[in-house]
Amino acid sequence: MQFIAPLLFLGFLGGVYASAYYLNLKTPKPEGCDDVDVSCGSCSISSCGLHPSNKELIVEVKS
C-alpha cells in the first residue's frame, strides 16, 4: 500500500493531464492563429527556440 498509493495517484493525475492535453489538441485553432507559436519576441533568452533570431532555424527544420 505504501508504494502502490503514490503510483496510483500519480497515474490518475497523469491521466487527467493527458485527457486535458488531448482535448485541447483536438480543438481546432481559430483562423489566422496557425503561427501564433512562433510569434514571440518579448524576452531576451536567445537560446529559446521561439526567439526571433532562431526563426530561420525553425523554418529550416519545418521544411
Partner 1 sequence: MELFSLFISAIFINNIILNKFLGMCPFMGVSRKTSSALGMGGAVTFVIFFSSLITWGLFEYVLEPLNLQYMDLITFILIIASFVQLVEMIIKKYSPSLYKALGIYLPLITTNCAVLFVALENIKQGFSFVESVVYSLAVPIGFTLVLIIFSAIRERLDIADVPKPLKGNPVAMIVAAIMALAFSGLAGLV
**Window 3-62: residues binding partner 1 (CB under 8 A):** 5-6, 9-10, 13-14, 16-17, 20-21, 23-24, 27-33, 36-37, 39-40, 42-44, 50
Task: Find the shortest distance in angstroms from Cβ 58 to partner 1.
Answer: 13
Size, binding site for partner 1 by CB under 8 A: 27
Which CB atom, from 39 or from 59, has the smaller least distance to partner 1?
39
Pairwise CA distance, residues 30 & 49, whole Å: 23
In total, the chain counts a number of residues equal to: 63
> The C-alpha cell of 6 is what?
503514490
* Nearest CA-CA partner of 41 in 31, 33, 28, 50: 50
